[in-house]
């Protein structure tokens, strides 16, 4: 079964734009769980422009599904996740001022650094996932660094799905997914996945463990409502 983890960063962005606590990030996360989400994803950035550190603590207290925290493994981030001990940490190579993730790790160049970070996560009972491009070498080296899973960065797939068609768009992702499976890695995917392209990805990579979706899901919820939107995304990954 492929699990749907809902990224609630955009809910926090909306809240922060006006101050106060509307929409309530914790309440929204609990509603997502009630509506069928299999997990909640957050990406607390150093400037707290969306998810705040306090949100992470508040969510940990109440979530009953799998909690996934994304971020660059700075000392502050590592201190946070070791305190929280979520089910999964997804390591991303983002700079502090980056608007959103736009590339995966160079696991070859950063292998020693990542090996040390992954060991620390696993020693604290946290599953370690590395955000990588659909590149077989990057996947292989993620396994050598000790990762439990990789998360394929799917923006190129989403763009090519429209630009050159679904069949061509998914090819390199299937190759990377096969390599991950051969290496014994679990497989996640995320970034720009939507109701338009998600089912095709799942059809071609049926062993996906998890998809993490935020921006498109929140945009769809403006029209469909949150409950119906989550149900529609779940249909895509059955």
Rg (Cα) of the chain, in Å, rounded?
17
- Residues tagged active-site: 43, 70, 191
- How confident is the model over 58-99, as pLDDT tens digits? 999 999 999 999 999 999 999 999 999 999 999 999 776 766
Supply the pLDDT for residue 95.
Answer: 74
Separation CA 57–CA 69 (nearest Å): 11
Q: Point out which residues pair with 39 in neighbouring strands.
A: 5, 66
Contact 230, 35 (CB under 8 A): yes
Phi, psi of 198 (to 5 degrees): -70, -45
Q: At what angle do helices 166-182 and 136-144 cross, to 10 degrees?
A: 20
| Residue in the structure block whose two tokens are 């529609």 | 232
What pTM was estimated for this model as a whole? 0.95
List the one residue out of 79, 78, 85, 86 whose CA is nearest residue 114. Answer: 78
Predicted pLDDT of residue 146: 98
Nearest to 147 by CA among 195, 111, 171: 111
Residue labelled with tokens 């799998």: 66
Mean pLDDT score of the chain, rounded to an integer?
A: 96
Question: What residues have CB less than 8 Å from 165, skipping those under 6 apart?
Answer: none
Bridge partners for 211 per DSSP: 4, 189
Find the angle CA(151)-CA(156)-CA(158) to the nearest 5 degrees: 95
Q: What is the pLDDT of residue 94?
A: 75
Residue 205 predicted with pLDDT over 80: yes
Encode 191-230: b = buried (16+ Cβ within 10 Å), e = exposed. Answer: bbbbbebbebbbebbeebbbbbbbbbbbebbeeeebeebb
pLDDT band per the 50, 70, 90 thresholds, residue 189: very high
For residue 176, what pLDDT is reported? 98
pLDDT at 158: 98
Quote the pLDDT of residue 100.
72
Q: Which CATH number fits domain 3-236: 3.40.50.1010, 3.70.10.10, 3.40.50.10490, 3.20.20.70?
A: 3.20.20.70
- The secondary structure of the chain in percent helix, strand, coil, rounded to multiples of 5, reads 50, 15, 35
Domain spans, the chain: 3-236
């Amino acid at each position: 079964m492929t699990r749907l983890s809902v990224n609630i960063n955009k809910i926090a962005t909306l809240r922060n734009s006006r101050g106060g606590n509307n929409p309530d990030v914790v309440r929204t996360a609990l509603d997502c769980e009630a509506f069928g989400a299999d997990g909640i994803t957050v990406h607390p950035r150093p400037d707290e422009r969306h998810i705040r550190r306090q949100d992470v603590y508040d969510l940990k207290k109440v979530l009953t599904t799998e909690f996934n925290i994304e971020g660059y493994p700075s000392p502050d981030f590592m201190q946070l996740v070791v305190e929280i001990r979520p089910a999964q940490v997804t390591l991303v190579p983002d700079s502090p001022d980056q608007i959103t993730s736009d590339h995966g790790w160079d696991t070859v160049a950063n292998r020693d650094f990542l090996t040390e970070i992954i060991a620390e996560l696993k020693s604290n009972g946290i599953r370690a996932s590395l955000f990588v491009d659909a590149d077989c070498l990057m996947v292989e080296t993620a396994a050598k660094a000790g990762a439990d899973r990789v998360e394929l960065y799917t923006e190129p797939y989403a763009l090519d799905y429209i630009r050159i068609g679904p069949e061509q768009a998914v090819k390199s992702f299937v190759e990377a997914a096969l390599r991950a499976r051969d290496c014994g890695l679990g497989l996640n995917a995320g970034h720009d996945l939507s109701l338009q392209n998600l089912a095709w990805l799942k059809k071609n990579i049926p062993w996906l463990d998890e998809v993490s979706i935020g921006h498109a899901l929140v945009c769809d919820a403006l029209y469909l409502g949150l409950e119906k939107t989550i149900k529609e995304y779940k249909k895509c990954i059955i």
